[in-house]
Chains A and B, each alone.
Chain A
Amino acid sequence: MKRQVPLMLVFTLALVMIIQYFVPNDLSLDTNEFLLKWIIIIGVFAMALGIWSLIRVSYEKIKRRVPGWQYPIATLLGLAAMIIFGFDYGRHFSTAEGLNNPMFLKFFLYIIIPIQSTMFALLAFYIASAAYRAFRARSALATLLLLAALIVMLRFNPYLGIFGQYLERTTSWLLNVPNLAAKRAIIIGIGLGSVATALKVMLGIERAYMGKD
């Protein structure tokens, strides 16, 4: 019974969502909205579990003095600071007001945003190192990839004159014919795979996500 009830719930709700996709009227849209709200509600409760998990794992690392145990201290301090400033208990004790708290904003604008930008900026260097490895002409196919990449990159060179126009045309062909064909083949495969997986979940064939009793 413990197995059947969740499986019936999955099947029924999946069927409702499928029907909803084909029925455009108000009742159908309201049902969709109602179910999406449930995801948000569950997400809020799960967030409490998530924060608890983060605190527990961080605390364990500090307690056992694992390598890099200092980092969880920064994590916990940051978490506590953002919660305290975010609630802005001094004035309104509300999260909406807390988002405008000067200290919350300072932490967000001058610590979180620059750190995020730094991480994102690292991508440029990682692309360069990945490209170096990808474009080594070790085989015929790798050489082909190298040539294609050279053409695509060289088209941005402003000093190539008429030759640049040929590169532009070749690039368009490369991007719009072989590249797009391969991309579409992958997308079609993904689409079919998604439907098959959804069916397996709906019919209860695939239930690894469900846990045991």
Chain B
Amino acid sequence: MKFKIWAVCCLAILGMISSGMAQENADTANRATTASISPPAPPGNLEPKDTPDDNGHSITLGWSLSPDDGAGNKSVLGYKIFRSTNRDTGFVERGVSPSGSKEYVDMGGAIPEENDYMPNDTDYYYKLRAVTSDSTVYSETGVIGPTQTTGEWFNRGRTLVLVFVLIFAMVTVFFIRKARSGAELFVRRLAGIEAVDEAIGRATEMGKPILYVLGLGTASDIATIASFSILGRVAKKIAEYQTGLIVPCYDAIVMTVAQETVRTAFLDAGRPDAYNEDMVYYVTSNQFGYVAAVNGTMLRQMPATNIYMGTFFAESLLLAETGALAGSVQIAGTDQVAQIPFFVVACDYTLIGEELYAASAYLSREPILLGSLKAQDYGKAAVIALSIIGIIAAQFNWTWLVELFKSAN
């Protein structure tokens, strides 16, 4: 028994000694490897340039790889970027770029109070260091500079956008002027909008109110602005039919604008006495709190018609399904592509995409507003034509069209 204990102890000691030796050998080997690193060849052609199409405060550096980056003795792990406002001293590390990279954007702050402030129209000098696994072994380029940062007066990446906007604006103005001169403009039937009159009539017959939901957008969202216009037309008809209107709002500014819109509509309809400020009210700016309040209103007041127009997110289905359960006729329109299927499923009529923007013109039948719809149609025709040209260009490997659109940002 004693012999066994001695044997186990001896083996354990031997094991410890041998593992210690092995560790020492490994350390020695590592030191040897580290010591064997020779300084890599420096990267070349360091070229700092003012970053284009921005407000300045940024320099883009380009370089060619060190011969030991991915080739040679493969010792380069990355590149450290140093910057100074003086050619000889004061270089500060600005960042690290991984091996294989040939570009780095040195972005500074635009606010003088910030530590990272990088004023425009100042001389900047750069040098680049190829680093290895040993922090003491590296190679550097010479100091390059000076380079200055400048804020641009035009973002060239948006030239294409500007051209398209200008052309589209001209076409829109042309059709508006044409409509003003009395030209007849054909506009295709929009079932969802035609249903509005019918829905208001139904509500009047049933003696129940109409619920109008402006969505979760703010007053500066274009879909909400379009929704205000539709609300105005709907409220005017409601005033004429003397039906009830409920407009619960998610945003306080939206509520204020909606109150003005409805008041104007009642005034236009010659029924200012029927306007009640409490028709349009604020609920909450909490998404699901808002849903709970609107759903509660739907189930308690059982509106004959629910109209959802504007920007909607996850609440779209919660609202529309509750409305369907309450047996209301439902008309919806949104610019949120992901929510359109939910409305299509749960509502009787859905305005898809740009139909939301066309609804106001369609409801009012004002020639000037209809003129802008024509411009939209021509815009779509232009996009279809460009798509066909793009398909043809892709078949023949003509990359110029793709490059043209790639340059846009």
Contacts and interface: CB of A to CB of B under 8 A. Distances in A.
A203 B179 CA distance: 15
Interface in A157-211: 183, 185-190, 192-201, 203, 205-206, 208-211
Given A192-B168, A208-B360, A25 B225 contact: no
Contact of A53 (B161, B255, B341, B352): B255
B172 A199 contact: yes
B83 interface: no
B47 interface: no
A50 B255 contact: yes
Contact of B256 (A49, A130, A212): A49
A200 B263 CA distance: 21
Interface string A116-134: 1001101100110111011
Interface in B142-166: 151-155, 158, 161-162, 165
A56 B300 CA distance: 19
Main secondary structure of the interface of B (DSSP, over half): helix
B36 interface: no
Contacts of B375: 196
Interface in A100-124: 112, 115-116, 119-120, 122-123
A25 B317 contact: no
B172 A208 contact: no
B252 A211 contact: no
Contact of B152 (A24, A43, A134): A24
B342 A130 contact: yes
A29 to B, nearest CB: 6
Most B Cβ at <10 Å: residue of A26, A47, A71, A208:
A208
Interface string A27-55: 11100000000010011001111110110
Contacts of A211: 260-261, 263-264
A116 B289 contact: yes
Contacts of B76: none
Given A25-B151, A208-B360, A188 B264 contact: no
A68 interface: yes
Contacts of A123: 314, 317-318
B59 interface: no
Given A116-B289, A126-B321, A205 B368 contact: yes
A211 B277 CA distance: 14
A52 to B, nearest CB: 8
Contacts of A43: 252-253
B252 A49 contact: yes
Contacts of B281: 53-54, 56-57
Main secondary structure of the interface of A (DSSP, over half): helix
Nearest to A118: B288
Interface string B220-245: 10110110110111000000000000
A23 interface: yes
Interface in B337-384: 337, 340-342, 344-346, 352-354, 356-358, 360, 368-369, 372-373, 375-376, 379-380, 383
Contact of B354 (A39, A120, A133, A190): A190
A60 interface: yes
Contacts of A89: none
Contacts of A185: 353
Contacts, number: 212
A74 B135 CA distance: 65
A172 to B, nearest CB: 19
B155 A209 contact: no
Contacts of B137: none
A54 B252 CA distance: 10
Interface size classification for chain A: 35 or more
A186 B337 contact: yes
A26 B380 contact: no
A156 interface: no
Nearest to B301: A67
Interface in B248-295: 249, 251-253, 255-257, 260-261, 263-265, 267-268, 277-278, 281-284, 286-289, 291-292
A194 B357 contact: yes
B176 interface: yes
B169 interface: yes
Given A68-B300, A209-B260, A54 B282 contact: yes
B197 interface: no
B107 to A, nearest CB: 14
A78 to B, nearest CB: 10
A93 interface: no
B155 A24 contact: yes
A27 B300 CA distance: 53
B253 A46 contact: yes
Contacts of A49: 252, 255-256, 282
A209 B257 contact: yes
Contact of A130 (B53, B265, B321): B321
A194 B335 contact: yes
Given A134-B345, A188-B383, A196-B375, A57 B278 contact: yes
A53 B283 CA distance: 8
A208 B261 contact: yes
Given A23-B153, A50-B282, A67-B300, A190 B376 contact: no
Given A28-B55, A54-B284, A130-B345, 15 more contacts: A21-B158, A24-B53, A39-B220, A119-B292, A119-B318, A123-B317, A129-B321, A130-B317, A192-B354, A197-B225, A203-B176, A205-B176, A209-B229, A209-B257, A211-B263
11 contacts: A22-B162, A23-B153, A53-B277, A53-B281, A115-B288, A116-B286, A119-B318, A190-B335, A190-B356, A197-B222, A212-B263
